[in-house]
Amino acid sequence: MARRIVFTSGKGGVGKTTICANLGATLSNLGFRVAILDVDIGLNNLDVVMGVEQRIVFDIVDVIEGRCRTTQALIQDKRYENLYILPSAHSYRGEEITGEDIKNVVCSLENTFDYIFIDCPAGVEQGFKRAIVCANEAVVVVTPHISSIRDADKVLSILSSYNLNEKYLVVNRVRGDLMVNGEMIDVDEIINFLHIPILGVVPEDDDISALSSLGVLGGSVSNRAWVLLAENLHNGTQKVFDCKQKYKGVLGALRRNIKRRI
Ligand SMILES: Nc1ncnc2c1ncn2[C@@H]1O[C@H](COP(=O)(O)OP(=O)(O)OP(=O)(O)O)[C@@H](O)[C@H]1O
Ligand SMILES: [Mg+2]
């Protein structure tokens, strides 16, 4: 039976889709079967990030409206053989789609996969609600910025009224140099404020934005962070990537200085 995990944030653009895709790819490399559902109906994004945009034949709305079976709409990733995506419908308002509709799609995949990731739209409106009801666990994504942390706090209070077994935190786009300088909110402060278990920390990685526009996953700086994230999710551990380590000490001060100048 698959673990059904929704990736949510409240605030948009903090990295939900990036995390779904990279964590999914890493888990699939470890041998787990992963399906990622893009439920941001009308605003397809996951297919672009994963470079499968041109291979879409059917989408999630076709499944819901009975034009195809779920397995016909799934796209297998060419690089990660255990990774599949169910694309969202492009240019569709999606107001008639209910949480129950999406839940039925999720249930139809439950016995075929180890993990089903639900990539939630930004905000806390209808799209958010229908994504949450399909999941039994939630990953709340934040960046180390006040607006993102406040929105995550709001999302967490809404999530408490849903029947979720676990809620985890991922802190994305962390700049170790700024944290050591005291110019960015520290990960520990975020954990203390939001009070949920940490699943992982992902550093700011220029490769992510550069490669994602080419439909390629991964990044040299964040590689280790994805592996730790996948291991933590699967094993229930909390081995967090230390973004600050290389910016400590004499050599670290030099690196911080160089980073400031470029
Ligand atoms: N760790 C990171 N380092 C550098 N860039 C990142 C990182 N994480 C995400 N990004 C970039 O941030 C942008 C937004 O990421 P993404 O689309 O994953 O956010 P989102 O939360 O899914 O957005 P939305 O709320 O619109 O669905 C993308 O350009 C992505 O490449
Ligand atoms: Mg997204």
Ligand 1 and 14: CB distance under 6 A = yes
| pLDDT one digit per residue (tens) for the chain, 262 residues | 999 999 999 899 999 999 999 999 999 999 999 999 999 887 878 998 899 999 999 999 999 999 999 999 999 999 999 999 999 987 776 678 999 999 999 999 999 999 999 999 999 999 999 999 999 999 999 999 999 999 999 999 999 999 999 999 999 999 999 999 999 999 999 999 999 999 999 999 999 988 877 777 877 889 999 999 999 999 999 999 999 998 888 899 889 888 877 7
Ligand 1 mutation target, pool 9, 139, 201, 208, most atoms within 8 A of CB: 208
Ligand 1 and 108: CB distance under 6 A = no
Q: What is the DSSP letter of 172?
A: E
Query: 249 alpha carbon to ligand 1 midpoint, in Å?
Result: 31
CATH class of 3-261: alpha beta
Query: 19 alpha carbon to ligand 2 midpoint, in Å?
Result: 9
The structural domains of the chain, with segments of one domain joined by +, span 3-261
- Cβ-contact 73, 46 below 8 angstroms: no
Ligand 1 and 173: CB distance under 6 A = yes
CA 166 centroid distance within chain: 15
Ligand 1 and 38: CB distance under 6 A = no
Report CA dihedral (48, 52, 58, 62) to the nearest 10 degrees: -30
pTM for the predicted model, two decimal places: 0.95
88, containing H or E segment: none
